[in-house]
């Protein structure tokens, strides 16, 4: 069988399949269905310094080929994660990627300091509103992307930093470069797009928060394009996500320039999606004579070139 092992910022992953933050909790529920130690990694539910209850309900809505969510980073807080979940998650043998969020620059730095050396990698969710700058998300402008990345990186001495980029921007390439300048060891993309679904009988948005993050199979072409653009713009590794439901989808992202991929919404529609994708990667590589899955990264050849 093909070798699916990949190296991501010095962290060895058994395979390039990581579960995306917010779709897998801390892994316990899925571990009842299969051994999550077979995964390349788990990106945890977004963690904040203090516990958060999240947004009011309803906060999930389905649409054709996508879902919208406005969960609002409901989580038990980083201290609870460290005390109650981290040791168990590490014991499964999968790489542990702690997804973190904050309201201020100091929040990001402080939470990174708490996790430094305890997890395999920290993933920075910069789609959060900056309360000290009028509520605009940290991840919108290149200058704030660079600033929050630099702050977070200053809190990490041992652990690599992955910065998760928002697609709701003018230039994904410029923001990827900003994260690289700020000291990111790699970038992941895309986070959810902003969308709305309307209940036409009530003439009101379905989600209590009015708008939500759009994810699922329908966003994949946008995500593949952005991963390609980001990978062409930076020298650091890129982790691709957005609408992956099968091995062939994952291979598109690898060819577009990703070193690894994250699978999110597919875990809701099929709890066994990730092990099926891993098996599919093995089968595809074997059929095509690919000995190491890492050989696929960045092999896309554009038409006309």
Q: Residues with catalytic annotation? A: 128
φ/ψ of 122, rounded to 5, equals: -110, 135
C-alpha–C-alpha distance, residues 260 and 160, integer Å: 15
Tokens of residue 220, six digits = 């994949």
Buried b (16+ CB within 10 A) or exposed e, 238-249: bbbbbbbbbbeb
**How wide is the angle at C-alpha 60 spanned by C-alphas 54 and 66, nearest 5°?**
135
Query: 160 preceded by cis ω (within 30°)?
Result: no
The answer to whether 282 and 293 are in contact (CB under 8 A) is no
Task: List the Cα angle 192/43/35 in 5-degree steps.
Answer: 125
Under 8 Å between Cβ of 177 and 234: yes
Query: From CA 73, how far away is CA 46, in angstroms rounded?
Result: 6
208 class by beta-carbon count within 10 Å (0-12 exposed, 13-18 middle, 19+ buried): middle
Instruction: Give the span between the Cα atoms of 162 and 16, in whole angstroms.
Output: 15
Q: Distance between CA atoms of 191 and 172, rounded to whole angstroms?
A: 11
145-164 per-residue burial string, b: 16 or more CB within 10 A, e: under 16 = bbbbbbbbbebbeebbbbbb
| Alpha helix (H) residue ranges in 116-261 | 142-154, 172-181, 220-233, 247-256
């Amino acid at each position: 069988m093909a070798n699916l092992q990949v190296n991501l910022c010095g962290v060895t992953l058994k395979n390039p399949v990581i579960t995306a933050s917010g779709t897998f909790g801390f892994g316990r529920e899925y571990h009842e269905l299969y051994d999550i130690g077979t995964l390349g990694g788990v990106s945890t539910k977004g963690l904040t310094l203090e516990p958060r209850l999240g947004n009011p309900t309803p906060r999930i809505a389905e649409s054709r080929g996508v879902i919208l969510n406005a969960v609002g980073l409901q989580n038990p807080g980083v201290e609870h994660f460290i005390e109650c979940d981290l040791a168990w998650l590490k014991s499964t043998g999968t790489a542990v990627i702690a997804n973190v969020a904050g309201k201020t620059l100091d929040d990001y730095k402080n939470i990174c300091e708490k996790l430094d050396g305890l997890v395999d990698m920290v993933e920075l969710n910069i789609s959060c509103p900056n309360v000290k700058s009028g509520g605009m998300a940290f991840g919108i402008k290149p200058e704030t992307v660079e600033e929050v990345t630099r702050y977070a990186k200053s809190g990490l001495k041992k652990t690599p930093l992955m910065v998760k980029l928002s697609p709701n921007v003018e230039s994904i390439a410029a923001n990827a470069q900003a994260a690289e300048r700020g000291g990111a060891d790699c970038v992941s993309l895309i986070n959810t797009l902003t969308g709305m679904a309307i209940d036409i009988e009530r003439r009101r948005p379905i989600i209590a928060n009015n708008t939500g993050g759009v994810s699922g199979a329908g966003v994949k072409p946008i995500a593949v394009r952005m991963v390609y653009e980001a990978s062409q713009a930076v020298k650091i590794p890129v982790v691709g996500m957005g609408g992956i439901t099968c091995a062939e989808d994952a291979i598109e992202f690898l060819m577009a320039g990703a070193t690894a991929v994250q699978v999110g919404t597919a875990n809701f529609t099929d709890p066994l999606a990730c092990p099926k994708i891993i098996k599919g990667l093995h089968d595809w590589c074997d059929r095509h004579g690919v000995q190491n899955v890492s050989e696929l990264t960045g092999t896309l050849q554009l038409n006309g070139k």
